[in-house]
Amino acid sequence: MATFTNKSELISSMRSGNNLDWDIIIIGGGITGAGILREAVRRGYKSILIEKKDFSWGTSSRSSKMIHGGLRYLAAGDYKLTKESVQERQRLLKEAPGLIYPISFFFSFRKGLFPGPWVMRLILLIYDWFARKKDHRFYKNSELSKKFTNLDQDNLNGAVAYTDAMVDDSRLVLRLLQDSISLGASAINYTEIKEFMTTDSKVVGVNIRDEKTNSDISLKSSVVINATGAWADEVRKTVSVERKVRPLRGSHIVIPSSVCPITDVFAFLHPKDKRGVYVYPWENQVVIGTTDLDHAQNLDIEPSISCKELQYLLDGFNSQFKTSKLGKKDIISTWAGVRPVIGSDKSKDPSKERRDHVVWNDKNLITVSGGKLTTFRLIAIDVLNQAKNLLPEPKEIAEETVFHTPKNTGTHLDWSNHAESKRLLGRFGHKATEVIKLSEECKTKPLEKFRYLMAECRWAILNEAVEHLDDLMLRRTRVGMCLPNGGKEVLPDLKNIFLEEKQWTLKKWNDEVQNYLQIWQNYYSLPQKENASS
């Protein structure tokens, strides 16, 4: 059973005149495209996903990692989006444990700030009703101080705790792709759509560039779906000049867990603009985020945190905790992502823009943008419903379950470390047995100060369409974001794996290391002063 599509074999087949006709071609390898591929293949459609860069390279590896209903959407009166999000959260927690996991959120109250405790309790009553269970309680300052050490209690008026969930967003995309490919779908990265094929001004396919022969390959399909998120307007510009997407940047900083040892999420309103900011544990470190502002830079250049954003997050953290002031010296890494929000009125506060998704048809090019990480399944269903008149009759879906995560009963899954095996089951599904078997054969241990196994790196290099070192360090794993200096300390061990499994030459390895470290320095480290735009 295939793990990821063998791109060279597929392209070679296309050059020979095979695999040129599809039911659905999906452009974009983020959570939206992966979700559509999953639903398409379940309906029996011959489907291929094509990504210009790497899978989840864009927004879907740079989110806040939260699977949640979004309390602020409920507070703004968006009951439908919140209800759908909460119910999808419950579904994901049930279907993909170990990949999606519950975590307690503590929303704190400072005197004089809105909303206060009573308003928040009312909001959470509705939130609980959507989830069909009571799941919140109020904490006094004395109780909070036990949960969050060194919390500044001046003007603090307690907190209300409730449960939402977290995920590694990139691994969620990869799991969707893996499960889709196992059912017969195809997905290829680092492949560019050169132009749309049209008949009578209607989009009927795409031309992709074959790098080996430097020639185009024409692929026909019943429907082409533009699922490129923040890039949606750019992709569709040859069929429509209308602009619908407002790109908004959200930035985060990663600090050592030793600086702020927490096991739950601490949420507060930033004293500068009253926006919600979160401090939360992630991959054995702690994250502070996020910002929300217009992103005017070239979308094909990786986004990065600005000096103003960095100071905003440091000031926010320091306003809540009375430890020695958090500073640049404490930061392990940073990341920034660009959210695709539907809205073109830049005079409107970015944080007040709606997060609904929108689907529209431009001459048979179906475009979707906006929406939330949590609701990817509902977005996919909506897209396919919009395209159904262009598609053959689908096969009937026997059940709605998206993920089939095996139980911890396989021969190689009876580890003494139940939490570790559960994590691998969530990330790799039925392939987890092979990952663990590889770990046992190679006698590998977790990376020092980190939860990843070296076997996971080897598995990804062998099976998950890794073409560049940064694919592994920043998306297949998060080693580059959670270890100092971009995880430079593990590169010697990875060198042997790449040379052995990918047959890289020493020159290729050195070039990849240089390129990766430059990427990390420019876009995942402290902001470069000359790029410190707001």
Distance CA 128, CA 146 (A): 25
Specify whether 225 is located in the same domain as 175.
yes
Specify whether 41 is located in the same domain as 175.
yes
Which range has the top average pLDDT, 108-112, 135-139, 192-196? 192-196
pLDDT digits (tens, 9 = 90+) for 275-299: 999 999 999 999 999 999 999 999 9
Instruction: Answer yes or no: is 418 within a domain.
Output: no
CB–CB of 103/166 below 8 Å? yes
Per DSSP, 313 falls in state H
Specify whether 282 is located in the same domain as 235.
no
Instruction: Answer yes or no: is 402 within a domain.
Output: no
CB–CB of 65/335 below 8 Å? no
Q: Residue-wise over 196-226: b if at least 16 C-beta within 10 A, else e?
A: beeeeeebbbbebeeeeeeeebebebbbbbb
Residue after which a domain boundary falls, among 342, 368, 399: 342
Give the phi and the psi of residue 379 in degrees, each rounded to 5: -60, -45
pLDDT at 408 (0 to 100): 66
Specify whether 218 is located in the same domain as 257.
no
pLDDT at 449 (0 to 100): 59
- Alpha-helix runs per DSSP H in 412-488: 418-428, 432-442, 454-463, 469-471, 479-482
Specify whether 257 is located in the same domain as 155.
yes
- What is the rounded (10 degree) CA torsion for 69, 70, 76, 78? -30
Q: What value does the mean pLDDT of the chain take?
A: 89
Task: Report residue 190 CA to chain centroid gap.
Answer: 18
Specify whether 156 is located in the same domain as 253.
yes
* Number of separate domains in the chain: 3
Confidence of residue 262 (pLDDT cuts 50, 70, 90): very high
pLDDT at 380 (0 to 100): 97
Distance CA 64, CA 94 (A): 21
pLDDT at 454 (0 to 100): 84
Flag whether the pTM goes above 0.85.
yes
Confidence of residue 75 (pLDDT cuts 50, 70, 90): low
Please compute the mean of the pLDDT values over residues 518-523 and round it to a whole number: 98
Specify whether 376 is located in the same domain as 335.
no
Strands (E) in 213-353, as ranges, are 215-226, 245-256, 265-269, 276-282, 285-289, 293-294, 333-342
Least confident of 32-41, 164-173, 415-424, 494-503: 415-424
Cα-trace Rg, the chain = 23
pLDDT at 80 (0 to 100): 80
Confidence of residue 85 (pLDDT cuts 50, 70, 90): confident
Between 77 and 484, the higher pLDDT residue: 484
Instruction: Answer yes or no: is 506 within a domain.
Output: yes
Please compute the mean of the pLDDT values over residues 445-451 and round it to a whole number: 62
Please compute the mean of the pLDDT values over residues 185-204 and round it to a whole number: 96
Instruction: Answer yes or no: is 86 within a domain.
Output: no
Cα→Cα distances 460→49, 71, 271, 397, 513, Å = 19, 36, 43, 31, 17
Instruction: Answer yes or no: is 200 within a domain.
Output: yes
In which residue are the tokens 């409107």 written?
A: 348
Assess whether pLDDT exceeds 50 at residue 451: yes
Specify whether 114 is located in the same domain as 190.
no
pLDDT at 201 (0 to 100): 93
Instruction: Answer yes or no: is 429 within a domain.
Output: no
pLDDT at 409 (0 to 100): 47
Distance CA 61, CA 209 (A): 25
pLDDT digits (tens, 9 = 90+) for 224-233: 999 999 999 9
**Angle at alpha carbon of residue 354, lines to 350 and 355, rounded to 5°:** 100
Distance CA 134, CA 141 (A): 22
Cα→Cα distances 27→247, 295, 311, Å = 18, 22, 36
Specify whether 107 is located in the same domain as 210.
no
Specify whether 234 is located in the same domain as 263.
no
Confidence of residue 357 (pLDDT cuts 50, 70, 90): confident
pLDDT at 191 (0 to 100): 95
Assess whether pLDDT exceeds 80 at residue 131: no
pLDDT at 348 (0 to 100): 60
DSSP, collapsed to helix, strand or coil, labels residue 368 as strand
What are residue 362's DSSP bridge partners? Answer: 365
DSSP, collapsed to helix, strand or coil, labels residue 208 as strand
pLDDT at 512 (0 to 100): 98
Give helix 418-428 / helix 432-442 axis angle, nearest 10°: 130
pLDDT at 266 (0 to 100): 97
Per DSSP, 453 falls in state B
Please compute the mean of the pLDDT values over residues 149-175 and round it to a whole number: 93
Cα→Cα distances 375→203, 471, 493, Å = 28, 25, 38
Between 272 and 357, the higher pLDDT residue: 272
Assess whether pLDDT exceeds 70 at residue 162: yes
Specify whether 472 is located in the same domain as 515.
yes
Residue after which a domain boundary falls, among 342, 375, 407: 342
pLDDT digits (tens, 9 = 90+) for 365-411: 999 999 889 999 999 999 999 999 999 999 988 778 889 888 764 55
Specify whether 187 is located in the same domain as 288.
no
Q: What is the DSSP string of 480-514?
A: HHHSGGGGGGGHHHHHHHHHHHS---HHHHHHHHH
Least confident of 81-90, 295-304, 525-534: 525-534
Instruction: Answer yes or no: is 158 within a domain.
Output: yes
Distance CA 54, CA 62 (A): 13
Domain assignment of residue 296, given as a range: 101-166+247-342
Instruction: Answer yes or no: is 410 within a domain.
Output: no
Q: What is the CATH number of the domain that holds 284?
A: 3.30.9.10
Assess whether pLDDT exceeds 80 at residue 414: no
